[in-house]
Amino acid sequence: MAPESSASGAGLAGLRLAGAPASIRNAMTIDVEDYFQVSAFAPFITPDSWPQRECRVEANIERILAILEQGGASATFFTLGWIAERYPAMVRRIVAAGHELASHGYAHLRASDQERAAFGDDVRRSKTILEDLAGRAVLGYRAPSFSIGAANLWALDELQAAGYRYSSSIYPISHDHYGMPQAPRFAFRPNGPDGLLEVPITTVRLLNRNLPVGGGGYFRLLPYALSRRLMRRVNRHDGQAAIFYFHPWELDTGQPRQHLAGVKTRFRHYVNIARMEGRIRALTRDFAWDRMDRIFLEKA
């Protein structure tokens, strides 16, 4: 892998992946957590109440697996250890269907809210749980709420020491809850050629800014045709794979409503969830999708 300089990655020792394939496979990713574990609801739903909450993740994962199978798509499932402990059969179904199992940490704690030692314990605990269930190595990690950034790049060293080979935790945008806009837009190694590979969620560069086009609330808010056009721009103009993400609860119109949350939080969480399944199905028709490990580690 040859180093390539990047103005947007100054000071990060960034190494971009060279040479996109002629036929680009994009990375479909799912952050496996339930509606009550969303970071924005944390002030209203404490972790000690989780066991008493109605869990809906298993049924939603079954819907997602069916959508992916029907669309001929492979994906990476970044899964909470807390969820995996309670739904081991679900985890095994994900693996049996040919998808990659990766880690989302144990208890959906933001990396930026943890001390280094506690973070290391969390990512090791989740890795062990997932590997014991899957019977194979877990290579990838995504921090809850993309909570690795300029102030805690040490987290990447902890991930590498725990045996992970890549992360998808740095989002190169400006956001009120997360983001590192000066980071490179495409896969790079923040800590040099021997460091962990970081694979950011997809953005487009417009009006001298990085704009998010890789999923989440932005994907539900924007017209589908615009999201499709921007992802195609990344494939054709940048010659890079797009990394898309969503959550099982984003397809779930029947989830319990959180009325204590503010208007802005509720809008972000619930906007257009009734349209989400149709949009995911459209993505499987309009793009080629594969697992993170096959796209990014096989060429590393």
Q: What domains, with CATH codes, occur in the chain?
A: 25-297 (3.20.20.370)
- Average pLDDT over every residue of 135-164: 96
Instruction: Kindly report, residue by residue over 196-253, the tens digit of the pLDDT.
Output: 999 999 999 988 889 999 998 889 999 999 999 999 999 999 999 999 999 999 999 9
| Cβ(173)–Cβ(179) below 8 Å | yes
pLDDT value of residue 300: 57
- d(CA 138, CA 78) in angstroms, rounded, equals 10
Say if residue 107 is exposed, middle or buried (CB neighbours under 10 Å; 0-12, 13-18, 19+). middle
Dump the DSSP string for 235-272: IIII----EEEE-GGGG-TTSPP-TTS-HHHHHHHHTT
- When mean pLDDT is compared across 135-149, 165-179, 283-297, the lowest value belongs to 165-179
- When mean pLDDT is compared across 11-20, 128-137, 138-147, 277-286, the lowest value belongs to 11-20
More confident residue, 23 or 266: 266
pLDDT value of residue 265: 86
pLDDT surpasses 60 at 277: yes
Instruction: Kindly report, residue by residue over 180-190, the tens digit of the pLDDT.
Output: 889 999 999 99
Which three-class secondary structure state does DSSP give residue 285?
helix
Tell me how crowded residue 210 is: count the other CB atoms within 10 A of its CB. 21
pLDDT value of residue 120: 98
Q: Residue 125: which pLDDT band, with cuts at 50, 70 and 90?
A: very high
pLDDT surpasses 80 at 90: yes
Instruction: Kindly report, residue by residue over 44-74, the tens digit of the pLDDT.
Output: 899 999 999 999 999 999 999 999 999 999 9
Percentage of the chain with pLDDT > 70? 91
DSSP character at residue 1 = -
Q: Residue 298: which pLDDT band, with cuts at 50, 70 and 90?
A: confident
Dump the DSSP string for 109-140: --GGGS-HHHHHHHHHHHHHHHHHHHTS---E
pLDDT value of residue 12: 41
User: 291 phi and psi, to 5 degrees?
Assistant: -80, 150
